[in-house]
Structures are given as structure tokens and as C-alpha cells.
Structure 1
Amino acid sequence: MTKIAAIEPILARVGVRNQLLVKITTEDGITGWGESGLSSREHSVAANVRHFADFLVGQDSRQIGRIWQENYRSQYFEGGRVFTAAMSAIDIALYDILGKRLQVPVYQLLGGRHRDKVPAFATTNASDIDGTLEQISMLQEGGWDCIRILPGIWNTGEIFEPRKSIADTAERLIAVREHVGREMTLGIDYHHRLSLAEAASFCNMLPAGTLDFLEEPIRDETPEAYRTLRTMTDIPFAVGEEFASKWQAGPYIEQGLTQYMRLDICNIGGFTEAMKVAGWCERHYIDLMPHNPLGPVCTAATVHLGAAVPNWSWVETRQAPTENLGFHDPGLFPVQVQMDGPFYITPDAPGLGVEVDEDAIRAAGTPEHVEPPHLKRPDGSVTNW
């Protein structure tokens, strides 16, 4: 009765993004929900979910760790983001099922909870100094103690000019720090759009103590580049949302190349892999600051992770007053993890604590093909989105 009866990817349009949910049903009728994090490439992930389903249907849904290994090692080539995004959704759904079967929240399956509420950080979306300061004042009044601002893009259409961006962003950050004082944790997400030299130049524009974390200034393929950048600035790094495995995270943990681990539970391999990375980070005094730009299933999974690990800072949220983008539509997800100001309340319901209105999800409309902007520099060369 514990065997997997069906695995189905369901792609829906929720708010301004697509969400790829994975529904797993057991022979005795328990349903679990997972979510994939590889935004804008959902069809590729869905194809992998169907491939895994070919050999997972009929297996014992309780053997979660074993299933993770079989998914990862079922082909000659090692994983990769498309594989592990599919594996993440399956893994999360299996934990949801097991929690419901045993009538306990998922965090109880991970060792029990460390905290009653899970801190989150907010992101401003204003593009100028006055608008940024206005949003930050509102967040401060609401009790938020960690705020991330977005960089000045300085793009026309699809053109990104890094030098103008870092100059504008540095000016805004200096003004923000003067405005908020020293107690506020302040970060910036550069979305890996800079070169190593540009990232170092940006850091050198900032007076000491301006910035508490610099998120993803350059891409993560080459740890040696981050090692070089580490010698050029003392600003803490927040890296990891691109990681697709503990192996990819390893050099950043072992070599001190990130001070906040930005893993995404819907990309790195679900609870099974995230807990391994979390333990490895604890050994090196690195706190988790997970990437969480998706929907209620991803959010709930991340909150359960946050409840179950000791080394935690903040979780990204898209439900702050500055940018509620409709990803948590209560008409589609009538039961979901709740917020109280800048905290997610650790849930007590069995499994993830999320209910999905399946009929509403399926009727939500045809998912749109979403292609991120293909940014170019002024000379016409391609750069990162």
C-alpha cells in the first residue's frame, strides 16, 4: 500500500510566473506535492520527471534516500540542473507523503524543529534612491531586519551597462546605509551579471560596513574566480542558488568562498541533498540563506528546512509588502504556510502543510513560455540575465 502509483508533472501559470508542480500518489491514496525550481525551463524538467516515473512507479514511497540515489545514478552521466530540479520535486513530494502517512510535519522527519518561526528577508524593487528609501522605511516599521536591494540595471531594452549600474548601485547603497543605521542587515543581488574586475570595482566604491552581503556577483562555474575576488574585498558573499548538488557546493564550503549558503531546495535535490549541504555548512559556520522565488510548495519545503537546521539566517520571500507577485494565490493553494511580519510560522500540519486545489490549478490557464531577457552589453556582446 505504500508503493508509488503515479507521478505527474503539472505546469501552471501562477501570478507572473509558471510553476512546475509534481504530484505523487501512492496505492493507498496519499498524495504528495513537490515543486521544481528551474524557472523558464519547466518543459525540460517535466520530461525528466516523466522519465523517472517510468521506473519509480511501483517502488516503496518510504525509501526516499534510495530513490534519490537511483534517480541520480540511473544514467551514465552525472546529474545537472535539469536532473536535480526534477529530483528535487520528487524528493519533496515523497517527504510530504511520508509526513502525512505518519501524521507529523516534515521537519519531524528531519530531526525535529529548532525554531518556532523562520526569519525571512525582504527585497525592494524601486529603481531610484528616493523610492528605495521609502520602501525600506515601510519595511523597518514592519519589523524587517534584513533587506536586499536590487542593482541599478541601467538597461535600455535588453542592454546592460555594468559601469553605470555599479556606480548607481553604490550611490544608493551608501544612502541606504546612512538612512537605516548599523543594525539593519543590508544586501545586494547582482544576479551574476558582473565580471570579476567589475565586482571588485563595485566593492571598492563602498565604504567599510556599507554592505552585509554581496549575492551572486559573478557566475559560480569557477570557484577560483571567487577565491580571487575574496582577496579583493572583505564583504561577505551569499552564493549557491545555482548549485545543483553537494558536489557543486563543496568548494565554496571547504574554501570559505561563501559566508551565506543560498541553496534552492527545489534545485539542489530536495530535502535529501539540502540536509547534507546544511550539515556540511554547519561544520564551517556557514548559515543558510535559501533562494525561494517560487510558490507555496517551495516556500513550505524551505520553511521546514529552516525549522530543522541550527545554522539559519533568513529565507528569501516573495510575500513581503514590497513585492507580492501572486505566486501564493490562495484560490489555487487554499492552505499554505503563514507569515507573521518578517517570519514564517513553523507549521504543525502533517507533511508540508500545503493544500493544492488541483481543479483550479489545471484550469488556471495555459502556461506561457517565459524567456528571460537576453541581455547584451553596449558593444553587442552577450551577458548574463
Structure 2
Amino acid sequence: MTSWNRRTLLKGLGAVATAGLWLPGTANALGLKPDKIKAVHYYRNTGDSNGRMGQPMINQSSNVIVIETESGLRGIGEGGEPTSMAECASMMIGLDPFRTEMHWQRMVRGMHYVAGREKLHALGGLDLALWDLKGKALGVPLWQLLGGKARDYIECYSTAFPRPPGGKLEDAARACIAAGFRVYRHSTDNRTGVVDRFKLVRAIFDDCVLLQKTVGDGSWSLDFHTEFDPSDAIRLAGMMDSADLHPYFIEDLIRSENIGSYENIRKLTSQPIAVGEQFGYKWDVAPLIERELINYVRTALPNTGGISEYMKILAMAETHYVGMIPHFTSPIAEAALVHCLTASSVPALMEMLGDGSRTFPYLPKMYDFRNGKMWPNERPGLGVELDMSKLVKIAEYNKYQVGMPLNLRPDGSYTQW
């Protein structure tokens, strides 16, 4: 072992010893002392009356989760709503907090119906907290546990980058790139009721021509926002092909219910397609990846079911040369995504709202964003800190509930019931 590696290991073990978890002489070289989950605490922030980032029409929870163990460790997560959170959290009480994959399987399969997307959001938030807890127990940032750094930072694109006073679309795009962002994102968003589809297609196409002229290849993107019927989405993408326009990606051309429709769309455009922000776990997105119908996966945290599941989707994407462009969800989940993408070398781009200056009073420390990029840090776990005075408790779960009994294989793993 080199002196650098020895010093690094001793520093990490010292942090574990400080936490009272180091067991000298045991086979467990990492020093994870046996522990049990004591309670799961559930909060909303005081600036958000509905726990949904102030947007009640979007079922994207920013509720805060804190898993507490009997030894006093605490892991921070985010997501869910009280009903599904109660089911999932109750299955964890009294069990080993470091068996992350076991908890994931139990929560997904622990009731008669396999977890749907709302429950995936809750168990995904709990999974974030379990990973955070493990990183803190070992005194290392989560990206170290996921494989170490494969990149120095993650490039970002901006949604709704502010236009300069009196500025136009091209002024906002130019300012966005000047601020260090890789991509300016434009949108077809036209949620005003009745839409003339022909006028909208023409207007958005003209915007795309302007963006191409202003910032050039790969420095802009277009979100179709699932607003078009397939014929209009295909027409717009075809117009972009014919005009030799080169966005970084085009997103969500049609609604997400029938992913088989992308078989036809893929044949009719050469534009890079990004899909998945409305999807959950790997089974939702697997056909799109395996049939190579998309270029980028848009699934995010905690929607997929947490870090445990996100890393599996990421590995699946790598085998088909598909990149990751996760949807912006909420700040703790964004911090978690930085760790996941730092530990992977697939093409990656993260979404940031506006110019990235938004702050969250209940999070003195969250993700590290500067110069249009997300940067990994050295703080243990997710690197997130809470100001508890800015949080209001929704519930506490401290009693075990088994859910449905699950069969085990002889080796102790759960069967895929």
C-alpha cells in the first residue's frame, strides 16, 4: 500500500472510530458496527405548504426524510407522501441500516401490488437516506462508495434561464452559455388551453433556427413537453433534420404511456432523443434502452426508487451507449445525482432551474453548483446538511410492520415473487 493510500485509509477509519463504529481486529475492515434502524422522521419545509416545491399540479415531493439508528447515526433523504411513506418506512424499523439492497427489495415487493410510481418515490427517498447514512458511517462522500470519480464535474443545462431586461430568446440563450452552462433549453410549453398545432409547430421551428444561429451546434435543446400528437412531433423533428439543426437533444416528443411508439419515431428522425422524466424503475425504461430507441435517459431521483436502482439503470444505459440527462426534481435528490454521475463515465448532463442561484433555507449545504456546473465535494454521505428549525414534522415511524411475508432462497435473498 502506498503512503498516500495508507494515509487516506487511516483518515477514513479515524472518522469511523470517532463515530464509535470502529471494531479493531474484526473481519469487517470498514468498521461498520452492527446497528438497527430506530425511527424514520418525515418533514416538510416551512416555506412549502404542500411539500411539492410550491407546485401543487406537479406530484414531485420535496419532503425531507431522516432515518435514525439506535447508535445515533442519521441519514437524509427526500421524497414521497405520507401514505406510501408509512408503508415503506415501517418495513425498516429494527433492521440493519446497511443492507440497502435488501431494504429496496422488501419495499418494492412487500405489499400485494408491486410498487407503483408514487410508492417508488417514497422508497426512493428512503434509499437516498440509507446511502447517506452509510457514507457518513464510513466518513466518505457517496461517490467513493459508488466507484470513485470518473469525471471532475457534471455539465448542466438551464431550464428557464432568465432573459436580460428587455431581452429576447436569443439574448437568454447567449447569456446562458456565457454563464458556463453547456446547453440552453427551450420549450414548446404552451399550456394556454386551445392550441393551433400548425402555428405552434411553425413558431417553435423558427425559434430553433434562431437558437442554432445564436449559440450553434449542441448548445441548445428543445423540450416537446409531451404536448404534441405524434404526427406533429414527427413533423417538427423532421423539419429540424431538413434544416440541418443540431440541438444537444430533443425531449419527450409524445406522452409516456406507450413507449412502443418510439419505434416509429426513431425511424423518422436523426435527432438525439431524451425520454424518461415521467418513468420509475428499470422496467419502465429498459425497452427504450435495449431497443436503442433513445439517446439519453431522463429518469431521476428519487423517482426511480433511489440510488440503488438509478445505478442499475445507469449500467444498463452504458451497455447500449446511452447517456443520462436526469430531470430536475428537488435539491437533496439533485445532490444525490451528482454522486451517481460523478462515479460514471457515460455522457451526462444535469438540469438546473434558471441561473442556479436558487437557495433553500432549510439546506445550509446541498449540492455544489458554480460556473454552470455541478461539482462533487468531499463531505460524507450526500454532503447535505439540514436546518431543523426550518422543517415541520409530518410523521414519525418507529414501529415495525412486516407487510406481505416474502419467501427467501436458501442463501437468504428474496425470491422475485
Q: TM-score range by the shorter chain?
A: 0.7 to 0.9
* C-alpha contact (below 8 Å) 2:189/2:225 kept by paired residues: no
Find 2:219's aligned residue among 185, 190, 206: 185
What is aligned with 1:246? 282
Counterpart for residue 64 of structure 1: 100
2:335 to 293, 300, 307: 300
Q: Which amino acid aligns with 1:174?
A: V
CA distance in 2, matches of 1:170, 1:268: 33
Deviations 1:230-287 (A, max 9, x none): 1121111101112211111110001111101111121001111001011111010011
Aligned match for 2:366, one of 336, 340, 347: 336
Once the two structures are superposed, the pairs formed by residues 37-76 of structure 1 within 5 Å of their partners are 45-76=81-112
How far has the Cα of 1:130 moved from its partner? 5.6
What's the secondary structure of 2:155's corresponding residue? strand
1:362 deviation in Å?
Answer: 2.2
The aligned length equals 347
Partner of 2:375: 345
Q: Secondary structure at the match of 2:62?
A: strand
SS in 2 for 1:247: helix
Q: Which residue of 1 aligns with 2:208?
A: 173
- 2:57 corresponds to 1:20: no
Aligned to 2:262: 226
1:317-341 deviation digits (Å, cap 9, x = unpaired): 12x42x75x4x32x21111222121
Q: Which runs of 5+ in 1 are unaligned?
A: 37-41, 364-385
Alignment partners' CA distance in 2, 1:125 and 1:302:
21
What are the residue-to-residue correspondences of 1:98-247 with 2, within 5 Å? 98-124=134-160, 131-151=168-188, 153=190, 155-156=191-192, 158-182=193-217, 184-206=218-240, 207-247=243-283
Confirm or deny: 8 A CA contact 2:68 2:74 kept in the other structure. Answer: yes
Determine the structure 2 residue equivalent to 1:4: 37
Cα distance in 2 between the residues matched to 1:100 and 1:126 = 37
Per-residue Cα deviation, 1:132-182 (whole angstroms, up to 9, x for no partner): 1111111222222222112251x54x4444433222111111111011123
1:317 aligns to what SS in structure 2? Answer: strand
Conserved 8 A contact 1:114-1:307: yes
Matches of 2:215 and 2:377, distance apart in 1: 32
Q: Secondary structure, in 3 states, of the residue corresponding to 1:298? A: helix
RMSD after superposition: 2.2
Give, in whole Å, the separation in 1 of the partners of 2:339 and 2:54. Answer: 25
Runs of 4+ in structure 1 deviating by more than 6 angstroms, as ranges, are none
Question: Partners of 2:97 and 2:107 in 1: how far apart?
Answer: 13
Q: Which letter does structure 1 place at the counterpart of 2:365?
A: V
**Structure 1 residues 360, 11: CA separation in 2 closer, same or farther (over 3 Å shift)?**
closer
Taking the aligned partners of 2:41 and 2:216, their CA distance within structure 1 comes to 50
* TM-score normalised to structure 1 length: 0.85
Where does structure 2 lack aligned partners over 5 or more consecutive residues? 1-33, 56-60, 394-417
Query: CA deviation digits over 1:182-210, x for unaligned, max 9?
Result: 3x432111221211111111112321234
Q: Distance in 2 between matches of 1:123 and 1:137?
A: 14
The amino acid that maps onto 2:170 is L
